[in-house]
Amino acid sequence: MAIKIDKKITGYNVVKPEDKLAATPVAAAPKEAPTAEVIQMHESVERPETLVGSTFKIKSPLFEHALYVTINDIVLNAGTKHELRRPFEIFINSKNMDHFQWIVALTRILSAVFRKGGDVTFIVEELKAVFDPRGGYFKAGGVYMPSIVAEIGGVIEQHMKNIGLIHDPEMDDATRKLIAEKRAAYEQAGAKKKADVTAAPVGAASAATAPSDTESNGFPPGATLCQKCNTQALVLMDGCQTCLNCGYSKCG
Ligand SMILES: [Zn+2]
């Protein structure tokens, strides 16, 4: 194959057989579909006209009116194997204007963090660790919320789980089995106690009211707060505090 050289030669290389082999795939690559550049999240990614999102309602005894938390997502590299849905902005709405200024500040900073790119999941733990000095409250299911900010953190965590940014640590089968066994043992012991009470004449009334107590959050009545999973599921078994939700045990 003859190649006409119409420019000044400024340098040269001798092509060896192995260079030719190595060069072939590279030369062929551009003929195939030009691989699109993978877009990562960074500050100058422009906001598309339309974003997809979710709105969560937060009802707290600390707030007179509900809070509505909206998180909108951007979908990067849509339709490719690099498709990634990331939170892009957050808004919080409420009828209650008492907390307006810090809510606006919080949402602006959170939105800025989302747009910075990189790993943004850390903000969940930061928010969930905020304690209200006036005290927190219990959610349905016996989960303790130390503050309204922590609950906003919980909502963001839920959203990040929904879009696949955070994955629940898979509870291994052994732990799950152990919790089920402990729970069964605890309930059996409770049933035995209840049967003894029912046998006594005064016990009839208390036995009748007992089931509704048990159903309140799925954990036995009188269960205390587990420090590990923030759920009211800690019971005393064989003289040892044991959590029926996450399996935590004071005795290891
Ligand atoms: Zn626990």
Q: What is the DSSP annotation of 79-117?
A: TSTT-EEEEEEEEEEES--TTHHHHHHHHHHHHHHHHH-
> Ligand 1 mean position to 224 CA, how many Å?
10
Which residues place a Cβ less than 5 A from the ion ligand 1? Answer: 226, 228-229, 243, 245-246, 248
CA of 231 from ligand 1 middle (Å) equals 6
Ligand 1 centroid – CA 40 distance (Å): 37
Residue 233 Cα to ligand 1 midpoint, Å, equals: 6
Contact (CB, 8 A) for 55 and 70: yes
Residue with the larger pLDDT of the pair 171 and 186: 186
Q: How far is the CA of 248 from the centre of ligand 1 (A)?
A: 5
H or E element at residue 148: helix 148-162
pTM of the model as a whole: 0.65
What's residue 20's pLDDT?
61
Give the start-end residues of each E strand in 156-231.
Answer: 224-225
Residues 178-232: pLDDT tens digits?
888 888 888 888 777 767 665 555 444 444 444 444 445 678 888 888 888 888 8
CA of 227 to the centre of ligand 1 (A): 7
204 vs 86, higher pLDDT:
86
The predicted structure's pLDDT at residue 19: 66
- C-alpha 160 to ligand 1 mean position (Å): 22
Other Cβ atoms less than 10 A from the Cβ of 212: the count is 9
CA 113 vs CA 26, 36, 45, 120, 157: distances in Å: 39, 26, 13, 7, 15
Cα–ligand 1 centroid distance for 225 (angstroms): 8
Buried b (16+ CB within 10 A) or exposed e, 50-78: eeebeebebebeebeeebebebbbbebee
Annotate 28-44 with DSSP letters as a single string: HGGGSPPPPPPPPP-TT
Q: End-to-end CA distance of the chain: give it in Å, rounded.
A: 77
Report residue 51's pLDDT band, with 50, 70 and 90 as the boundaries.
very high
Alpha carbons 76 and 73: distance in angstroms, whole number: 10
Residue 61 alpha carbon to ligand 1 centre in Å: 23
